[in-house]
Amino acid sequence: MRLPALSRWSARDRPKLAVMPTALITGAGRGIGSAIAAALAPTHTLLLAGRPSPGLDAVSRRLGATALRLDLADAAATQAVAATVSELDVLVHNAGVSRPGRVAETDINDWRVTFDVNVFGAVALTLALLPALRRAHGHVVFINSGSGRRVSPGMACYSASKFALRAFADALRDDEPALRVTTVYPGRTATDMQRELVAYEGGEYEPGKFLRPETVAAVVAGVLKTPPDGDIHEVVVRPAV
């Protein structure tokens, strides 16, 4: 995959391009991902990754960021994107998919699709970017879910994928002591995914009952501001209503 107008990012180049640290955010075209991008824009040079969409292009233009066309289920695309990044300060794993359903309502394809993006995609991108993260002594943030701490009814494969993602984050923290690794567990958040879940549950979608994406983004921005003598492993945030 060829990425037009994207040069190799390195510490050597930063004086020419920006003095700010670089952050790569997946699933940045909407919802929590776009809110995190907006929250980090004043302090970071942004690489916004996601499947090609008008939303991703719009967020990138608005924030003056570089859009990276990336399907996390495509291993070749993941390697191509990682090859353009030689040093990376922050990696935010936000992209995810959800296929609501109790165990008996799912089929094996639901599980494969969910794990391909939520787990294998995150693992593949992390492995590909590990050299760049090591050079910067970087910070990896995983946007998990309350379903990654307690299984949610009707969310069988999604919950299982989030438990797996939690385990990967813990393993990464243990195995890469030069990196900081944080898992954020938001409660139910007002996003398109939440709208689909409420429809599956047969309820009426009322955004005011859920966390705002901007609230989750503020938590992420706060984590990244942690002084060097601190290391935040986990953050749990829930709606106040």
Provide the annotated active-site residues.
Answer: 158
DSSP of the chain, one letter per residue? ---TT-PPB-TTTHHHH-SSPEEEEESTTSHHHHHHHHHHTTTSEEEEEESS-HHHHHHHHHHTPEEEE--TT-HHHHHHHHTTBS--SEEEE-------B-GGG--HHHHHHHHIIIIIIHHHHHHHHHHHHHHHT-EEEEE--GGGTSPPTTBHHHHHHHHHHHHHHHHHHHH-TTSEEEEEEE-SBSSHHHHHHHHHHT----GGGSB-HHHHHHHHHHHHT--TT----EEEE----
Contact 138, 178 (CB under 8 A): no
**C-alpha count within 13 angstroms, C-beta hemisphere, residue 165:** 39
Contact 24, 88 (CB under 8 A): yes
Q: How many residues does the chain have?
A: 241
